[in-house]
Amino acid sequence: MEISKVTEVFFSPTYSTERIVRLIGEAWEETHQEIDLSRIPKEGEVHEFGAQDLVIFGVPSYGGRVPAPAAERFRNLKGQKTPIILLTAFGNRDYDDTLLEMKDLAEEQGFVPAAAVAAAAEHSIMRQYAEGRPDSRDKSELTDFAVKIREKIEQTEDTERVSELSVKGNRPYREYNGVPMKPSAGKQCKKCGLCARLCPAGAIPAEHPEETVKKMCISCMRCIAVCPEHARSISRPMLLAASMKLKKECSERKRNELII
């Protein structure tokens, strides 16, 4: 298949998924564009793709699932037998049904999954898990994955001939009801409003950026990552309790997976 444009599509509250999607995208020298699903879309926003496009779609795994706003916003993308690479970043626990849910979503929207990647990345809540990943070893492995994917796509005559991608997971997908840790602002908050502008869920009121609308918050940690005053945080006792609970499952280095 001849690819003329590569589009990097990502939902990436704390930016590691975005970085990994870009790293994979570096294997193509063609024109690039990006669609940031962490942004609240404009009314009626639709993006259409053809058979000469390649889409690289990345999301973090939340509770082993695609984050709900990412799934909803991805539905604004329409492919026409467009090849797509599915990528999930996971915080050293597991990605469970994330790639299967991405594959189903992609196919429903007219894309043809050509490859999938699960990449271990620093846990955005309990940052001691997979701390510092992707590291240099991961980066060279992911770069090699990207070359293999490019070769597969180049060698395939057209998307009709891409064989069914087999990713792990179950249907119905795992149930995910969110996590109870919702960031709040401390005394250092200068009400600059940056967090409110960048919150992927619209859970921080622009007029009162020191507040969080708890029922809208998806615990993605974007506000903590972007606050220039380091004024936002989650409850320490809750963080410690969650860390203890996941210690056994998350401590060992998990490998990156390439499915092709």
Ligand X SMILES: Cc1cc2nc3c(=O)[nH]c(=O)nc-3n(C[C@H](O)[C@H](O)[C@H](O)COP(=O)(O)O)c2cc1C
The binding site for ligand X (CB under 6 A) comprises 12-17, 60-64, 89-94, 121-125, 179, 219-221
DSSP assignment of 184-230 equals: EE-TT-----HHHHH-TT--S-TT-TT---TTT-----HHHHH-TT-
Q: For the CB of residue 152, give the shortest distance to ligand X in the complex, in Å.
A: 25
Q: For the CB of residue 39, give the shortest distance to ligand X in the complex, in Å.
A: 14
Q: For the CB of residue 246, give the shortest distance to ligand X in the complex, in Å.
A: 9
Question: For residue 226, what are the CA distances in angstroms to 136, 180, 192, 219?
Answer: 24, 21, 11, 14
Q: Looking at beta carbons only, is 27 or 87 nearer to ligand X?
A: 87
Taking the C-alpha atoms of residue 231 and residue 247, their distance in angstroms, rounded to an integer, is 27
Q: Looking at beta carbons only, is 15 or 28 nearer to ligand X?
A: 15
Taking the C-alpha atoms of residue 85 and residue 102, their distance in angstroms, rounded to an integer, is 10
Q: Looking at beta carbons only, is 91 or 209 nearer to ligand X?
A: 91
Q: For the CB of residue 242, give the shortest distance to ligand X in the complex, in Å.
A: 10
Q: Looking at beta carbons only, is 113 or 183 nearer to ligand X?
A: 183
Helix, strand, or coil (residue 105): helix
Q: For the CB of residue 34, give the shortest distance to ligand X in the complex, in Å.
A: 14
Q: Looking at beta carbons only, is 82 or 92 nearer to ligand X?
A: 92
Across-strand partners of 59? Answer: 88
Q: b or e along 204-219 (b: 16 or more beta carbons within 10 Å of the residue's beta carbon)?
A: beeeebbebeeeebbb
Q: Looking at beta carbons only, is 27 or 119 nearer to ligand X?
A: 119
The residue with its CB nearest to ligand X is: 91
Q: For the CB of residue 42, give the shortest distance to ligand X in the complex, in Å.
A: 22
Judge residue 248's burial from the number of C-beta atoms within 10 Å of its C-beta, 0-12 exposed, 13-18 middle, 19 or more buried. Answer: exposed
Q: What is the DSSP letter of 11?
A: -
Q: Looking at beta carbons only, is 168 or 191 nearer to ligand X?
A: 168
Taking the C-alpha atoms of residue 7 and residue 56, their distance in angstroms, rounded to an integer, is 6
Residue type, 162: V
Q: For the CB of residue 157, give the shortest distance to ligand X in the complex, in Å.
A: 34
